[in-house]
Amino acid sequence: MNDWFETVSTAVLQYEKTPLLIFAALFAVIVILTVAFAVHEIRNDIS
C-alpha cells in the first residue's frame, strides 16, 4: 500500500491545477449538501 501511495504522491506533485479545482468544487458541493441534510435532520429531531 505504501509503495503504491509513494508512486501516486510523486505523480501528484506534478499536478495540473484545473482538475484539482474541479475536484475541490465537487467536494465542496457534496459537503455543503451533507451538512444541510444533517442540520435538517437534527432540527427535525429536536422539534
Partner 1 sequence: MKKRSFNTRNLGSGFLYFYIHFVTEVACFYALARYIESPPVMWMITVAYDLLAFTPQSVIGYISDRFRKISFGLIGLVMLAAALPLQQYMASPWLSLVILCLGNACTHVDGAEITLRASNGSLSHSAIFVAGGSFGVITGKLLAGAGIPYWAPLVLTLSAVPFAMAAKLYLNKAPASAEVPCRAFRYNDPRRNKYLVILLSVIVVISRGYMAYGIPISWRKSTLQTVMLFCFMGLGKALGGVCADLFGIKKTAIISLAAALPFLLFGDNNMYLSLIGVMFFSMTMSVTLAVIVSVLPKAPGLAFGFTTIGLFLGATPVFFIKVTGFAANCVMLTVMTALCVACMAISIRKDEPHERLV
Residues of the shown chain interacting with partner 1 in the complex, contacts defined by CB under 8 A: 1-2, 4-9, 11-13, 15, 19-20, 23, 26-27, 30-31, 33-34, 37-38, 41-42, 44-45
Q: How far is the CB of 24 from partner 1 (least distance, A)?
A: 9
Residue 44's Cβ-side half-sphere holds a number of Cα atoms within 13 Å equal to 6
Q: How far is the CB of 16 from partner 1 (least distance, A)?
A: 8
User: Phi and psi dihedrals of 13, rounded to 5?
Assistant: -65, -20
| H/E element, 4 | helix 2-12
Q: How far is the CB of 37 from partner 1 (least distance, A)?
A: 5
